[in-house]
Amino acid sequence: CSFVHSPKGFPKLKNDTFLRAARGEETEHTPVWCMRQAGRYLPEFRETRAGQDFFATCRSPKLCCELTLQPLRRFPLDAAIIFSDILVVPQALGMEVVMVPGKGPTFTEPLKEVEDLLKLRQKVDVTAELGYVFQAITLTRHSLEGRVPLIGFSGAPWTLMSYMIEGGGSTTMAKAKSWLYRHPEASHRLLQLLADVITDYLVGQVAAGAQALQLFESHAGHLGPEQFQDFALPYIRDIAQAVKSRLKEEALPLVPMIIFAKDAHYALRDLAHAGYEVVGLDWTIRPQEARAQTGKDITLQGNLDPCALYAPKEKIGELVKKMLEGFGTQRYIANLGHGLYPDMSPEHVGAFVEAVHAHSRHINKH
């Protein structure tokens, strides 16, 4: 569909605070959004999703748009992130993933042997396989009416590879990691295939209207520094470089990119030089420490412990204030150190968002 490549006439952006912070420009308040802000903690989300197959929801641009907008109707967030899932990429490679209630995403036939790589599509037409995400982005970008920027995203190669081999969640990732030790060449082949698809996918998201991109390396913490160096970082770097050169070639906007590698503090210095404007942080690192390791030319994003939202509202305000003092209010995007949990109170999420705005304005004035 041709509109994917020339989505003209998007509404004018009214609140660009998030984009300014991402680019390192001065902001009046610290922008804030939440990972998994479109999620089960919202009753309206549960209602919209009721009785719907999870991946069928992901394939419906209309439902993705509705779910993306729900948190923005409740909270003065500074960014929207498209409702989707990182596992749509393995699906595009021809793998079957189903959402099993109480268990989560499950691959019907995970990769077991190196020969299984031959079953994957070696050439993926992302518009054919993932066009529904592009349509959801275009529709949502229009429906936002310029209120806030829209973030697109993808899982990173190692995280996707680990799901494809484990067949679902895992506490040790032992099956996936065993590939790295036993089959390093095949692992690199798979990671490269993923990196190529992810690059096309992210470029397609910008063509469809995404105004920023986040790469989720959610399983970074299962790797040690050496394996991260060999099997994760090179692809993270390549994706940033490839996406940027493609955006230039195709005369598309050069949007800010965020890398979120959970539990990879050992790699913060490298991640700060990996070609991303923003480095996302989980809650296990001190703000001052993260600043010291990433330097002055990077915007940081994060990193309140999601469980802090179980605290009373006043306490949430105190924790936010401390976090802002630690990071500083500039070159900073407030977020949680991971996604919201399904049993969290929407009121407490609201308290978090409002505390970021109020305290950062106060600090900026004084």
Q: From the candidates 23, 85, 246, 310, give the one annotated as an active-site residue.
A: 85
Q: From the candidates 16, 20, 36, 200, give the one annotated as an active-site residue.
A: 36
Neighbours of 108 (CB within 10 A): 9
Q: Is 189 a catalytic residue?
A: no
Q: Is 319 exposed, middle or buried (0-12, 13-18, 19+ CB in 10 A)?
A: middle
Strand partners, 259: 215, 279
Q: Is 49 a catalytic residue?
A: yes
Q: Letter for the amino acid at 22?
A: A
Q: From the candidates 40, 74, 189, 361, give the one annotated as an active-site residue.
A: 40
Q: For the stretch 166-186, what's the b/e string if a residue is b when 16 or more beta carbons lie within 10 angstroms of its beta carbon?
A: bbeebeebeebbebbeeeeeb
Q: From the candidates 16, 20, 41, 49, give the one annotated as an active-site residue.
A: 49
Q: How far apart are CA 57 and CA 49, in angstroms?
A: 7
Q: From the candidates 16, 141, 147, 163, give the one annotated as an active-site residue.
A: 163
Give 171-180 contacts, CB < 8 A, sequence gap 24+.
Answer: 172/222, 173/219, 173/222, 175/110, 176/222, 177/222, 177/223, 177/227, 180/227, 180/230, 180/231
Q: What share of the chain is helix, strand, coil (3-state, %, to 5)?
A: 50, 10, 35
Q: Is 41 a catalytic residue?
A: no
How crowded is the C-beta side of 214, counted as CA atoms within 13 Å? 31
Strand bridging mode 80-81 / 97-100: unpaired
Contact in structure between 54 and 99 (CB atoms under 8 Å): yes
The sign of the torsion formed by the CA atoms of 157, 19, 34, 304 equals positive
Q: For the stretch 258-281, what's the b/e string if a residue is b when 16 or more beta carbons lie within 10 angstroms of its beta carbon?
A: bbbbbbbbbbbebbbebbbbbbbb
Q: Is 125 a catalytic residue?
A: no
Contact in structure between 257 and 212 (CB atoms under 8 Å): yes
Q: How far apart are CA 31 and CA 49, in angstroms?
A: 28
Q: Is 163 a catalytic residue?
A: yes
User: What are the residue numbers of the active site?
Assistant: 36, 40, 49, 85, 163
